[in-house]
Structure 1
Amino acid sequence: MGASVAVSEANFAAEVLGPCAEMPIIVDFFATWCGPCKVLKPTLERLAMEYGVMLATVDIDQNPELASQYGVEGVPDVRIATAGRLQPGFVGAVPEGQIREILARYELRSELETTLAAAQGAIAARQFPEAKALFDTLFERYPDHPGVTLEAARFLILLQQFEDAERLLNSIPPDQAEHYKRAQGVKSLMRFQQWAADDPSQGIGAAAQGVLQGEYETALQQLLAIVEAGTREKDIARQGMVDVFALLGSQHPLTRQYQQALMMALY
C-alpha cells in the first residue's frame, strides 16, 4: 500500500468507496492551478507511504460533479474515506502535525510512530543500546525523515554527544518551516542541560530537569511561576518557556495554553 492513485467520477466507487471498507483511504480534492495543493501534495504522499494507506487524488476541474456531490468549495480539501463513506478531514495546507492528529482519530498509526514510541520507551527505561538500535533501524528505513532526525538528536543530547546532535539538527533546512523551528527548540536542550547541571534542585535548574525528563507541563508551571515572581531569573525563565514551545511545536495544547499564560504574566 501507500500508493498515490488519480481517481475520477468513473472509478471513484470502485477505487475508493469499496476498498475503504477494509482500510481508510486519504482523498485529496485538488486543482492544478492551486498553489497550496502543490505544497501539500508531497506531504500527503509521504504520509500515505509511512502509514501504508492509499492516497486518492481528485482533480476538481476534471471531476466537477464529484466535487459538487461532496460539497467541495475550496482546495485542497482532504477527506478520509472509511466504511464506505467520506469523513471530514481538513481544508488548506495545514501543518503535518495536524494531519497526523486527524489520521490518529481514524486509528491509523504508522510503523515509524510505533518504532519511535519504542525508542522513547527504551530511553525512559535507560536502555540506551536498545534505543540506538531502534534509531539505526529508523534511519535505514526513513533516512530523510525530520521526525526521526529530531528524536535522534534529542537522544544524542541526553548522551551529551552535542556535536553529533547539532550536526543532525543542522541537516533540517529552513524551508521545512515547522520542523526547522522544532530543531531550534531541540538545540535549546543543550542549554537546559547546563541549567540542570548548575542547580537541579530548585528554580531554573529544577524546571530544566523537568524538560529533560519530558515533564513539560510541570516545567512550564515552574518557569511561569518564576516569570510571575519577577525575580532576577525572570528573563531566563521566559526564554526557557519559549524554548519549550519550540520543542513541542505551535500546535501542541501545552504551547497554546502557556503562550497565553506567558503573555498575561508579561503584560
Structure 2
Amino acid sequence: MQPRNMSMSGVVDLAAVKAAAEAKQKAERARAEAARGGTSAAAPTRLVYDVDEAGFQQDVLQRSTEVPVVIDFWAEWCEPCKQLGPVLEKLAREYAGAFVLAKIDVDANQLLFQQFGVQGIPAVFAVVAGQPVPLFQGAAPEAQVRQVLDQLIQAAERQFGIVGARVEPGAEDEPEAEQAAPARPATPYDSALAAAHEALDSGDLGGAVQAYRNVLSDDPGNAEAKVGLAQAELLQRVRGADPQAVREAAAKDPADVAAQVAAADLELVGGHVADAFGRLVETVRRTAGEDREAARVRLLELFEVVGPEDPRVAAARSALARVLF
C-alpha cells in the first residue's frame, strides 16, 4: 500500500506538513506524561465523525499522525453509500481505535472531492502520517473491507510507526477535550503576515512572496515569515510543472542538478519529505562547486518549509553534514 502522490494546495496548504509533525510531537509528549502518571490523560477518542473543508487539516491531516484516518466519501442520494457506511462505522467501533473514520459529504465538500480525484461514490481513502492512500471504490462486502483495513493498519505501523490507541467501551464519539493554547502576543507585523497568508491561500503566490519579503526586510528573524516565504516560493516553482516530465528528466540524468532539485520540489509538495531530502543530500554528495551549492541551498530552503522541529529535518541535516565534511 504505497501512499499516493497528491498535492493538497487549496483547502490544505504546505503548512500541514509542519503542523502534522508538531501534532505528533505533542501527542507523544501527552502519552509519555500519562504513562508517568501525570494529569494530562488522553481525551476520549471519536471513532466516527463528519469532516468538512474547514476542518480537514486538523481532523484528518493532523489526526493522521497519531492514528490512520479512513475517509468515506458519500452522499445522501447514493444508495451504495447507505450500504457501505454502516459497515465502516461498525468496523471503526469494533477495531476500537486502531483507525478512525472521517465521513465527507461530497455535495457539501466539492473541493475535497475534486482534490482526491474521486471518480465515483462511495469511495474510501485513508490518510496516514499526512499522506493520502486510495483504498477502494464501491460498496465492498464486509470481509473485503476488513482485509483492506488490516493491511492499512499494518502498513501504518510498519512504515510510519503509527499505532492507534484503543479506547474504553462507551468512550467513542464523545467530543474531544481541547486545551486552550496561550495567546500569542501581538506584533507590529500581524496585519502584514495575515495579508501574506491570505494571498498564499488564495493562490496569489507573487503577492505572498512579496508580502513575506516585506516583513523580513524589517524583521529578518521573523520565523513565521521565513516559513511562509519558503512555502510560497516552493509553490511558485512547481506551478505549471509537468510531474511526469520532471520525474523522467531526473531519472534520465542523475548529474543534472536542475532536474534533481525540480524533482525534490515535487516530492515535497506531494508529501514525500524523506524522498525529497534524500534526493538532495545525494545530489550534494555527487557534485562539486556551483552545482553542489545549488543543491545545498535548495535543501536548506525545503528545511524551512517543513520546519526545524520535524525529526526528518534533523536527520537530513546530519546526512548533509556527513557528505559535506
TM-score norm. by structure 1 comes to 0.39
Q: Which has the higher helix share?
A: 1
